Amino acid sequence: MLSGIPQSNHGHYTYIHTFLYYVHITFSFIRVFIREHFNKFCVLRSEIGIRKIRIKFSLNIGNQ
């Protein structure tokens, strides 16, 4: 009975270890995916921001 407990704990530990390994792989894939899309989003946002600034700038010149 007692000799079976460490074995089951070891099996449980390896299961957790494998699970964490897969979680780590999944998160690394998600991180790369988000990074690529975030860069595209930042470029888009900066382009939109530049256009807004240009519109404001041209409106200010037009008002003067």
Instruction: Determine the pLDDT at residue 54.
Output: 85
What are the boundaries of each domain within the chain? 29-64
Report residue 26 CA to chain centroid gap.
Answer: 11
Phi, psi values for residue 2, rounded to 5°: -70, -35
pLDDT digits (tens, 9 = 90+) for 20-52: 999 999 999 999 988 888 888 888 888 888 888
> DSSP labels for 2-58?
TTHHHHHHHHHHHHHHHHHHHHHHHHHHHHHHHHHHHHHHHHHHHHHHHHHHHHHHH
pTM of this structure: 0.41
- How far apart CA 36 and CA 24 sit, in angstroms, is 18
Q: Can you give the pLDDT at residue 1? A: 45
pLDDT digits (tens, 9 = 90+) for 3-28: 555 555 566 678 888 899 999 999 99
pLDDT top residue among 60 and 5: 60
